[in-house]
C-alpha cells in the first residue's frame, strides 16, 4: 500500500490537470496552484499563450487520458472533437485555378482529432473538482521553492481574477512531499529547481512568429446541421504552404476554423513597408491563394493591429531540450508547435512519470523500511533516463515538420503531379 503523500502541482493547464488526476486517483492529497483565476470563470483573463484556440489531439495524448482512472473521460473528450484524417494542401495551378490536394495520414483511415483546448482543460478541472482529496488554489503564483526543505512560496491575489490592476497581494508558504511543475514554457518550477541541482538547460528561439485568424461558419437558413456550416472540409488539417511562410486551419466543433499564420520575423518589416496595408491582400493571394475569400473582412486589419512589431522575445517559439543531472528532476520542455505534439507529449510525460513512480513504490512496499521519498528519487532517476531522449527526439521531429509543412508538401505534390503527367 503506497503511503499517502502531499503532491503539489504547479499550473492548472491540460498537463497539470492530468498530473493532478493521476496523483489524486492514487489516493494522495493533491493541491493545484495556478497563477491565473479559474479558467471556467468567464472573468478570468486568459494567458497570451492560450490564444491557440484549438489543437490536434493524437493517440499519444489520448492514451495518457485513457490511463487516468476515469473511464468516462475519453468518451467525453472524444465527443467534442472533429477527426482530421489527413492534410489538405491548397495551392494555385499555373493557369491561376485554385486546387486542393488531400493527403491521408493513414492507409487505415485513422485520424488525429481537433479539440478546443479550453474545453478539454475545463473538463479535466470539472473531474478534479469532484475529488475529495484535491484542492485548487487559483490566483496563486509560485515565487520561490526550497527543494532541500520541501517548502514553496506563492504570491496570492485575493478576490479578483489574475491580470487585474490594483489588487493586493500577500505571500504564503506551504510544504510538500513532491512538487510537479506543469507551469508551461517559462516554468518557474524549473527556474527554482536549477538552483538546487546541476542541470543543463538550453533554449533556442527560431525565427518564426505566429498570429491567429478565424474562418467563420457559413450561414445557411435551410440547413442548420454542423456539417453545412464548414466553408472547407472539416476532416482535414488545411495547409497553405508558402515555402518561407505557412498558413494553416484547424476545424472547431462550432463550424469555425482556427487559422494560424507562421512567418519569419522579417515579415514585420514587410508589414511596416506600407502603413495603409494595401500590399497585404496581394501577399495573401500570392502565398495563400483562396484565403482572403475565406476570411472576410480581409486579413489586413488583423495583421495591421499587430504593429508595431513585437520585441524580439514575444510571440516566438522556443525549443528547450533539457538534460537532467543531480538529485532533482525536471520534466519541463517546450517545443515548436509544428508537429502538433506539445500538449500530447506533456500528457504522455504524466503517464510515463506515474508508471515509473508506481513501479518504484511497489518495489518499496517489499522492503522493511518503507521510504516513499527514496523510492521516488529512484523513480525520478529512471524517468530522467527514459524521458530526456524522448524529449529531444520529439523536439527534433517538431522542428523538421515545419520544413515539411511549409515547403516539402509542395515538392511532394509536385512529384505526384509529374508522375501523373508521365502515366
Ligand atoms: P500551459 O497550457 O502553458 O499551462 C501552464 C499553466 O501554468 C498556465 O495555466 C499558467 O497560468 C500556469 N503558470 C505559469 N506560471 C505559473 C506560476 N509561477 N505559478 C503558478 N502557475 C503558473 N500541442 C499539441 O499537442 N497539439 C497541437 O496541435 C498544438 N498546437 C499548438 C499551436 C500553437 C500556435 C501553440 C503556441 C502551441 C500548440 N501546442 C499544441 C502546444 C500546446 O499548446 C502546449 O504544449 C500546451 O498548452 C501545454 O500545456 P501545459 O498544461 O503544459 O502548459
Q: Write the pLDDT tens digit of every residue in 85-100.
A: 999 999 988 888 998 9
DSSP state of 329: -
Tell how far the Cα of 389 is from the centroid of ligand 1, in angstroms: 21
Please name the residues in contact with 229: beta carbons below 8 A apart, sequence gap of 6 or more: 217, 218, 220, 254, 255
Does 181 contact ligand 1 (Cβ within 6 A)?
no
Q: Which of 26-35, 43-52, 276-285, 375-384 has the lowest mean pLDDT?
A: 43-52
Does 339 contact ligand 1 (Cβ within 6 A)?
no
Q: Whose CA is nearest to atom 15 of ligand 1?
A: 183
Domain at 6-203+315-413, CATH class: alpha beta
Percent of the chain with pLDDT strictly greater than 70: 83
Place of cell 475565406: 294
pLDDT band at 45 (very low <50, low <70, confident <90, very high): low
Residue 323 has pLDDT above 50, yes or no: no
ipTM: 0.99
CA distance 116 to 258: 10
CA distance 107 to 328: 44
Q: What is each CA distance from 272 to 277, 300, 309, in whole angstroms?
A: 8, 12, 8
Question: Ligand 1 pocket test: which of 32, 87, 112, 184 has the largest number of ligand atoms within 8 Å of its C-beta?
Answer: 184
pLDDT band at 165 (very low <50, low <70, confident <90, very high): low
Does 343 contact ligand 1 (Cβ within 6 A)?
yes
User: Can you give the pTM of this predicted structure?
Assistant: 0.88
pLDDT at 52: 52
Residue 389 has pLDDT above 90, yes or no: no
Q: Which of 127-141, 248-262, 308-322, 368-382 has the lowest mean pLDDT?
A: 308-322
Could you report the per-residue pLDDT of 216-238, keeping only the tens digit for each?
999 888 888 989 999 999 999 99
Does 39 contact ligand 1 (Cβ within 6 A)?
no
Tell how far the Cα of 184 is from the centroid of ligand 1, in angstroms: 5
Extract the C-alpha cell encoding 253.
466543433
Could you report the per-residue pLDDT of 242-272, keeping only the tens digit for each?
888 899 999 998 999 999 888 887 887 787 7
Amino acid at each position: 500500500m503506497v503511503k499517502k503523500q502531499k503532491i503539489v502541482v504547479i499550473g492548472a493547464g491540460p498537463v497539470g490537470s492530468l498530473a493532478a488526476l493521476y496523483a489524486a486517483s492514487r489516493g494522495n492529497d493533491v493541491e493545484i496552484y495556478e497563477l491565473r483565476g479559474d479558467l471556467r470563470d468567464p472573468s478570468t483573463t486568459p494567458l497570451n499563450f492560450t490564444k491557440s484556440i484549438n489543437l490536434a489531439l493524437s493517440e499519444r495524448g489520448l492514451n495518457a487520458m485513457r490511463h487516468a482512472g476515469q473511464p468516462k473521460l475519453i468518451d467525453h473528450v472524444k465527443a467534442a472533437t472533429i477527426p482530421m484524417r489527413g492534410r489538405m494542401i491548397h495551392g494555385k495551378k499555373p493557369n491561376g485555378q485554385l486546387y486542393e490536394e488531400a493527403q491521408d495520414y493513414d492507409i487505415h483511415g485513422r485520424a488525429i482529432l481537433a479539440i478546443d483546448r479550453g474545453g478539454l482543460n475545463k473538463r479535466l478541472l470539472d473531474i478534479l473538482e469532484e475529488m475529495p482529496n484535491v484542492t485548487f488554489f487559483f490566483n496563486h503564483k509560485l515565487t520561490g521553492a526550497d527543494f532541500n526543505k520541501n517548502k514553496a512560496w506563492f504570491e496570492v491575489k485575493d478576490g479578483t481574477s489574475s491580470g487585474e490592476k490594483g489588487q493586493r497581494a500577500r505571500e504564503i508558504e506551504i510544504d510538500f512531499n513532491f512538487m510537479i511543475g506543469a507551469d508551461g514554457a517559462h516554468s518557474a518550477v524549473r527556474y527554482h529547481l536549477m538552483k538546487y541541482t546541476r542541470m543543463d538547460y538550453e533554449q533556442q528561439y527560431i525565427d518564426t512568429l505566429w498570429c491567429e485568424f478565424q474562418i467563420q461558419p457559413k450561414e445557411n437558413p435551410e440547413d442548420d446541421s454542423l456539417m453545412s456550416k464548414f466553408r472547407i472540409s472539416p476532416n482535414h488539417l488545411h495547409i497553405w504552404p508558402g515555402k518561407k511562410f505557412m498558413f494553416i486551419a484547424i476545424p472547431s466543433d462550432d463550424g469555425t476554423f482556427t487559422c494560424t499564420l507562421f512567418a519569419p520575423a522579417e515579415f514585420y518589416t514587410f508589414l511596416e513597408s506600407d502603413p495603409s496595408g494595401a500590399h497585404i491582400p496581394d501577399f495573401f493571394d500570392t502565398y495563400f491563394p483562396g484565403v482572403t475569400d475565406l476570411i472576410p473582412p480581409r486579413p489586413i486589419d488583423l495583421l495591421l493591429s499587430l504593429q508595431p512589431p513585437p520585441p524580439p522575445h514575444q510571440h516566438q517559439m522556443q525549443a528547450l531540450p533539457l538534460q537532467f543531472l543531480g538529485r532533482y528532476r525536471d520534466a519541463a520542455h517546450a517545443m515548436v508547435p509544428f508537429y502538433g505534439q506539445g500538449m500530447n507529449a506533456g500528457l504522455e510525460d504524466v503517464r510515463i512519470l506515474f508508471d515509473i513512480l508506481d513501479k518504484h513504490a511497489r518495489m518499496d512496499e517489499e522492503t522493511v523500511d518503507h521510504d516513499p521519498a527514496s523510492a521516488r528519487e529512484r523513480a525520478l532517476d529512471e524517468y530522467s533516463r527514459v524521458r530526456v531522449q524522448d524529449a529531444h527526439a520529439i523536439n527534433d521531429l517538431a522542428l523538421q515538420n515545419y520544413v515539411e509543412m511549409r515547403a516539402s508538401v509542395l515538392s511532394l505534390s509536385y512529384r505526384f503531379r509529374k508522375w501523373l503527367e508521365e502515366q
